[in-house]
Amino acid sequence: MSFRRQTRRGILKTGIAAGAGLALPTIFTARSASAFTNEPTGSSVTLGFNVPQSGPYADEGADELRAFELAVEHLNGEGDGGMMNTFSSKELTGEGILGKRVEYVTGDTQTKSDAARASARSMIEKDGAVMISGGSSSGVAVAVQGLCQEAGVIFMAGLTHSNDTTGKDRKANGFRHFFNAYQSGAALGPVLETLYGTDRKAYHLTADYTWGWTTQESMQAVTEDLGWETVNNVLTPLAATDFSSYITPILQSGADVLFLNHYGGNMVNSLTNAVQFGLKDAMAQTGKQFEIVVPLYSELMARGAGENIRGIPGSQNWDWKLENQLGERYRGTNVFTQSFGEKYGFPPSQAAHTCYVQTLLYADAVQRAGSFNPCAVVEALEDFEFDGLGNGPTLYRGADHQCLKDVVVTRGKENPDNEFDLVEIVEATPVEQVTYPPDHPMFAGGALGECNEGA
C-alpha cells in the first residue's frame, strides 16, 4: 500500500522502564526503512489502555477499563461479538486483528498529565504497544496525544471533551470519537432557551485546566447569543474536593443560573455543596428561581450525585437507553448494553461506550488498511463514514480527526425507576446542528501536521 504521509524515521529506544510518576525525555534512534514503531512480528499485537485508576475521575476510568476488556474479548472471538455485529463495516471477524490475537497492558493516568505520559511511554517502550487509548481528562489526552505523535503510534482518545484536543492541540496520529465542548453548547443552547428564557444571569465555576476553560468559553458564547449576561467565572483546582467556600459569593452575585463546569468527582462534590447551601431551591436576587446547569455529565456522575441531579440539564456523548427510546437510528446501543451488562451486572456509561468504540474503530482501520503502520491507519480513518455503533451515522472528519455525530441532551430524572436510570433523554440533537468548520475560532491555532510512523 502507498501511504500518502511519509515522515521522519526513528524509533523509541527500549530498555527504559518508565515508572507511573516519572516524566522521561523523548529519545528516538534510527532503524530499518521498512519498520515502524512496535511493528508486530509474532502471533499477537499489544494495545495500551491508559485510564485514571486513581484521582477525581477514577469511576470513569474503571468503566473505561471494563469496556476495553470487553472489546478485546470480542476482537478475539470471545463472548457475543457485541457491536461487531451491528457495525456497518464488516472487516472484523473475531479472529483478532489481521489474524493476530489482541493482548493489552494498562496504566494509571492518576488524572495527571505527567503520570499519564509516563505510563503511556512505558507501554510503548517496555510493552510494545502499537496503539494507546483511554483517559478521562482532556489535559491527559492532550499530553498523551502529543507523546504518541512523537513516538509514532496511534492515539485513540477516550473521554476528552476539550475543544483543544482536536483544535489547537490536534495531531495527525490522534483521533477523537467523543464530542466536544462546542458541540455541547450548540446542542444545549436551544434547550436552555426553552427551559429558562432569554433573560438570565450566569455564574460559572470552572475546573482550572483545558477542558474547563473551553467548556466555559463554549457555554458563555452560546448563552450570551441567547441574551444572557455572564456575571462571573471562577476557576477551581482539579484536586478540590470541597467547594462550599465558592457557594456564598454566588448567592450574593445577582446571578440566577450556576454553570458547574466540573466533571467526575468534582461535579458530584460541587453539585452536592450547591444543593446543601440551598441553591437549587433558592429565589435569586433577580426574582427568578435559581437554576443549575452541568454542561457535561454521565449516568456514573448522576449515580454519585443521587437525588441532587434531579432536573439538572446537561449533555452526553451517548446513553444506554438511546435505541429503546429513539429507535433504529441508534442501533448498536442495545447489543453493547446487553454485552456489557451480562459481563458486569449494570449498564455501561458514555465513557465505556466511547472506549469500546475506539478500540473497534482502530482494529477495523488496521483490517481495511491491511497494515498496523500508523500512516496506513491514519489514511483508513480519515473521512471514514460508519454506522451501527450506537451514535447514528458518524463521520471521522479528516481535517481535524473529530467525529461528527448527534449529541444527546439529558436531564436528571425527577422520579427515577432505579439507580441505573437517573437521567432522561431530552433530545438527540442532529449532527447538522453541532457541526462546525475545522477552522472555527474555538479550534484555531493548531495543525495536524504529518503522520509519524516512527521508523
Span 257-279, pLDDT tens digits: 999 999 999 999 999 999 999 99
pLDDT of residue 34: 54
Query: Among 441, 379, 39, 348, which Cα is nearest to 175's?
Result: 379
Contact assessment for residue 62 and residue 303, using Cβ atoms and an 8 Å cutoff: no
Phi, psi of 385 (to 5 degrees): -105, 135
Contact assessment for residue 29 and residue 129, using Cβ atoms and an 8 Å cutoff: no
> Which portions of the chain are predicted below pLDDT 50?
1-33
Enter the DSSP assignment of 26.
Answer: P
Q: Tell me which of 3.30.420.40, 3.20.20.150, 3.40.50.2300, 1.10.150.110 is the CATH number of domain 44-179+321-405.
A: 3.40.50.2300
Cell (9 digits) for 301: 456522575
pLDDT of residue 246: 97
- Going by their DSSP bridges, the two strands 403-404 and 394-396 should be labelled as antiparallel
Residue range(s) of every CATH 3.40.50.2300 domain in the chain: 44-179+321-405, 182-316
Alpha carbon distance 222, 429 (integer Å): 15
Contact assessment for residue 118 and residue 142, using Cβ atoms and an 8 Å cutoff: no
Cell (9 digits) for 183: 458541540
Say what the pTM is.
0.91
Span 339-348, pLDDT tens digits: 999 999 999 9
The CATH superfamily assigned to 182-316 is Response regulator (3.40.50.2300)
Alpha carbon distance 345, 338 (integer Å): 10
Phi, psi of 105 (to 5 degrees): -125, 160
Q: What is the dihedral of CA 443, 444, 446, 447, to 10 degrees?
A: 90
**String of DSSP letters for 325-350:** HH-GGGTTHHHHHHHHHHHHSSPPPH
Contact assessment for residue 54 and residue 161, using Cβ atoms and an 8 Å cutoff: no
Contact assessment for residue 315 and residue 188, using Cβ atoms and an 8 Å cutoff: yes
Largest pairwise CA distance in the chain:
72
Alpha carbon distance 244, 250 (integer Å): 11
